[in-house]
Amino acid sequence: MKIGVLVSEGPYTHQAADSAYKFVTAALAAGHEVPRVFFYHDGVNVATRLSVPPQDERHIQRNWTALAKDHGVDLVVCIAAAQRRGMLDENEATRQGKDANNLAEGFRISGLGQLIEMGIQTDRLVTFGD
């Protein structure tokens, strides 16, 4: 089964990002396909490379980055939600005249079309967060 995942709550303030990560790893282990995870609303904050949680806590962004690298999962961050929250990749930072970017490895910024496409191309769309 092909499963698409939507994460719409931020890390460390809500369990959505952790629950989604555990769901995706379990789905992959069970032999399902998870071609894409779409981060929307405050969920885009999962993708910041600047988070530095205490050493004895889980590192949510790093977990997602490793998942993308190990399993080829497409991690897409909504561009509108990202820009509102100061989340920029290198191209957007340049385009917006900013001197820095903060998108973590393994994530990419794109539009809502990617969410719609995911909904069409998967058998199920599972959401985490409001």
- What's the token pair of residue 59? 């590192």
Say how far apart CA 42 and CA 7 lie, in whole Å.
9
Q: Are 6 and 126 in contact (CB under 8 A)?
A: yes
| DSSP tag of 12 | T
| DSSP tag of 36 | E
78 is catalytic: yes
Strand partners, 5: 37, 126
The one catalytic residue in 27, 60, 78, 103 is 78
- Give the sign of the dihedral formed by CA 100, CA 102, CA 106, CA 110: negative
Q: Are 125 and 118 in contact (CB under 8 A)?
A: yes
Catalytic residue ranges: 78
